[in-house]
Amino acid sequence: MEKPLIIANWKCNPITLAEAKRNFELIKENTKTAEKVEIVICAPFVFLPILKPSENVKLGAQDCFWEDRGPFTGEVSPKQLVDVGCQYVILGHSERRRYLAEKTEAVNQKIKAALGAGLKVIFCVGSETKIPGEEMEYQLTEGLKGLDKRVFDRLILVYEPVWAISTTKEKVIATPKEAQEGGLYMRKILASLFDAETAKAARVIYGGSVDSKNIRGFLDEGEMAGGLVGAASLKSEEFIDIIKNACYPER
Ligand code: PGA
């Protein structure tokens, strides 16, 4: 079985470069577990050229543009991310839809460009409703439009119930069973878009209020291949504990 993938989504944190460097180094020093768990830290753009990824801890961005270069004020291209040492990029996060009106068509273009530049894509599929339905179907269908099933060796899907994100007002935490149901629903859609084999093999991880206490439930009962961690990844000790708990017991 593939090792679990634990991804930190720092979002728009921390404020200083000094703190970002300190947290990154702390995580590197305390997680010599590369053979047991894959660790990625997705930091704000400005910190990326400074943070030094290792065998153990890889570097990711939280967005990218769909062109390589040109007159696109404020944008950062996938090739630029690769050049500063990024191997991963989060795309389609619900906060970008909520605050920046990002559309799934744009996410689709971004996914294609990021894969074309050699990045691994962490594609977030959110659901506003408790029971995933049409909304998820739309995001997957449009987000993956025009992609070949071979991209799944570099495409990670995140099931993110929007209501379970730690900073939303609902303050509800999904159960492992709910995560499992979301994952299964995702695979059902993937089977119709691609084929059963692709749907079964796809790497689906879970995001939304993941912490060191609930991570094992999402991995075991929830049958998730890993976790995308927001708030809890900002407290380095807690994030290190999430990683430790993800490695043990052996899966
Ligand atoms: P959270 O964020 O862990 O703070 O809920 C997850 C995410 O939005 O990626």
Q: What is the pLDDT of residues 198-222, one digit of tens each?
A: 999 999 999 999 999 999 999 999 9
Q: Are 85 and 59 in contact (CB under 8 A)?
A: yes
Tokens of 154: 């570099």
208 CB near ligand 1 (under 6 Å): yes
Q: Are 196 and 237 in contact (CB under 8 A)?
A: no
Ligand 1 centre to CA of 33 (Å) is 23
Contacts of 199 (CB under 8 A, 6+ apart): 187, 188, 190, 191
Nearest residue (by CA) to ligand 1, atom 9, is 230
Query: For residue 47, what are the domain limits?
Result: 5-247
The pLDDT value given to residue 249? 62
Residues of the chain with pLDDT under 50: 251
Ligand 1 centre to CA of 248 (Å) is 22
Question: Is there a catalytic annotation at residue 93?
Answer: yes
Question: Is there a catalytic annotation at residue 135?
Answer: no
CATH number at residue 78: 3.20.20.70
Q: From the candidates 38, 95, 102, 160, give the one annotated as an active-site residue.
A: 160
Nearest residue (by CA) to ligand 1, atom 3, is 230
205 CB near ligand 1 (under 6 Å): no
The pLDDT value given to residue 35? 73
The pLDDT value given to residue 169? 72
The pLDDT value given to residue 167? 84
Ligand 1 centre to CA of 168 (Å) is 9
| Tally of domains within the chain | 1
Indicate the top mutation candidate among 7, 9, 97, 172 to test ligand 1's pocket, ranked by most ligand atoms within 8 A of CB.
9
8 CB near ligand 1 (under 6 Å): no
Q: Are 225 and 2 in contact (CB under 8 A)?
A: yes
What pLDDT, in 10s, does the model give residues 85-114? 999 999 999 999 999 999 999 999 999 999
The pLDDT value given to residue 239? 96
